Amino acid sequence: MPLLVAGLGALTLCAALSLALGARSVPLSTVVDALFSDGHGRDAIVVTGLRLPRTVVGLAVGAALGVAGAVAQGITRNPLASPTTLGINAGAGFAVVVAIHALHLTRPVEYLWFAFAGAAAAALFAQALARRSGDLDPVRLALGGTVLQLVLMSWTSAVMLASKRTLDEARFWLAGSLAGRTLDVLWPVLPTLVIGLVLALAITPALNALSLGDDSAQALGVPVARIRLLGGLSVVLLAGSAVAVAGPVAFIGLAAPHLVRLVLGSDHRLLVPGCLVAGPLLLLAADVLGRLVVRPSELEVGIVSAFLGAPLLAVLARKVAR
């Protein structure tokens, strides 16, 4: 309980900083007035009209990516698994860029079903690459997902370079950003995001059994194939929702589960709910940092998270190799 309170306190502080900091800093007293006293003026409009929707979207996207990473690592028994390293984010991004190029889409709300389709196709293909005699090989999954990610990213670049309009429309979205995101973008994906979270929480006890191996899990009465199917569906729904809203934000799904493991241990009954706090915390922290390092401009949250997450991936890969 103390750890949960501390985590929620850190998340609350990060959300407050997200409302207060940016190209124009706003005092916390003004933030409180704008939220609870119907404040007026330029600062109040900045807080309620721009930063509050951005913060709410960041909370939702961070929760989706954090939980998706925990479930992906659980069903694959691979500590390097995440929506990024399995190629799911890249699949969603490629599908969206193709849709922008072919169908002339212009709004993030129109990307939703293409993001889901791309995420699902990438997840299925990565699992197909990792099968060995019918069993899922965690090492092959990580390698196959990484190769798939690189291939899809190169195809995405080729489509964008083939059309200046597609390049202009997609390049900022592909960087992964919360800038300009409103609640109108979040509402269409909220049902699928909630379904993905419910599925993830429902299978958490079974993920503990899966960590013992397929044979041991089956001996304990766990339907391994069904749990993997539900877990995969959860990851696709969560990652697809996040990518549709904010673009392919990297490393949050990888870092959040490992951060929670350091604090709460490997019990998925604590790990998955813990990622509901750690994911938004990491995403909002990266977003706030991106606003401050090059003020009055800003860096997209996807760039900041990739810059911070790349060393983590290298450390984890070395640990797994040992």
- The answer to whether residue 65 is domain-embedded is yes
Of residues 224, 202, 254, the one with CA closest to residue 68? 254
- Band of pLDDT at residue 132, cut at 50, 70 and 90: low
Residue with more model confidence, 211 or 139: 211
105: left (phi over 0), alpha (psi -120 to 50) or beta: beta
Q: What is the pLDDT of residue 204?
A: 92
pLDDT digits 0-9 by tens, 178-236: 887 888 888 888 999 999 999 999 999 899 888 887 788 888 888 888 888 888 889 88
Cα–Cα dist 217/207, whole Å: 9
- The answer to whether residue 211 is domain-embedded is yes
In the chain, the N- to C-terminal Cα span, in Å, equals 34
Q: What is the pLDDT of residue 166?
A: 77
pLDDT digits 0-9 by tens, 261-287: 888 888 889 999 999 999 999 999 999
Mean pLDDT of 235-243: 88
Residue with more model confidence, 92 or 308: 92
- The answer to whether residue 190 is domain-embedded is yes
Domain count for the chain: 1
Residue with more model confidence, 14 or 168: 14
pLDDT > 70: what percent of the chain? Answer: 91
Mean pLDDT of 89-117: 82
- The answer to whether residue 55 is domain-embedded is no
- The answer to whether residue 256 is domain-embedded is yes
pLDDT digits 0-9 by tens, 1-59: 677 788 888 999 999 999 988 888 888 888 888 888 776 778 788 888 889 999 999 99
- The answer to whether residue 289 is domain-embedded is yes
pLDDT digits 0-9 by tens, 301-320: 888 888 877 676 666 656 65
pTM over 0.75: yes
- The answer to whether residue 32 is domain-embedded is no
Say if residue 9 is exposed, middle or buried (CB neighbours under 10 Å; 0-12, 13-18, 19+).
Answer: exposed
CATH at residue 226: 1.10.3470.10
pLDDT digits 0-9 by tens, 247-266: 888 889 888 998 888 888 88
Name the residue range of residue 78's domain. 2-14+61-321
- The answer to whether residue 23 is domain-embedded is no
